[in-house]
Amino acid sequence: MDILLASGSPRRQELLSSAQLDLTIMSVDIDETPYDNESPKDYILRMIAAKADAAIAQLNLDYQCNSSQLSKPITPFIILTADTIGVLPDGKTVLVKPADRAHAYSMWRQMSDNTHQVWTAVQATLVALLPAKPTTDADKQLSNEPLKVVWQKQIIESTDVTFIPLTQDMMSDYWDSDEPADKAGGYAIQGLAAAWVTSINGSYTNVVGLPLAQTLALIDEATKSHNIYGL
Residues 188-211: tens digit of each pLDDT: 999 999 999 999 999 999 999 999
> Quick check: bond before 165 cis, omega within 30?
no
Range of the domain at 20: 2-229
**What pLDDT shows up at residue 131?**
55
Q: How many residues does the chain have?
A: 231
Measured over the CA atoms of residue 9, residue 10, residue 12 and residue 13, the dihedral's sign is: positive
Q: How far is the C-alpha of 4 from the C-alpha of 30, rounded, in Å?
A: 17
Measured over the CA atoms of residue 15, residue 16, residue 22 and residue 27, the dihedral's sign is: negative
Q: Which residue has the higher pLDDT, 159 or 128?
A: 159
- Active-site residue 83, yes or no? yes
Q: Which residue has the higher pLDDT, 68 or 3?
A: 3
Kindly report the CATH number assigned to the domain that includes residue 139: 3.90.950.10
Record the pTM.
Answer: 0.85
Res 9 pLDDT > 80:
yes
- Decide: helix, strand or coil at residue 58: helix
Give the CA diameter of the chain: 75
**What pLDDT shows up at residue 139?**
44
**What pLDDT shows up at residue 229?**
52
The domain tally of the chain equals 1
Shortest CA distance to 121 belongs to which of 28, 53, 38, 214?
214
| The amino acid at 94 | V
Q: Which of 36, 42, 83, 176 is catalytic?
A: 83
Whether residue 222 contacts residue 151, with contact meaning beta carbons closer than 8 Å, is answered with: yes
Res 137 pLDDT > 60:
no
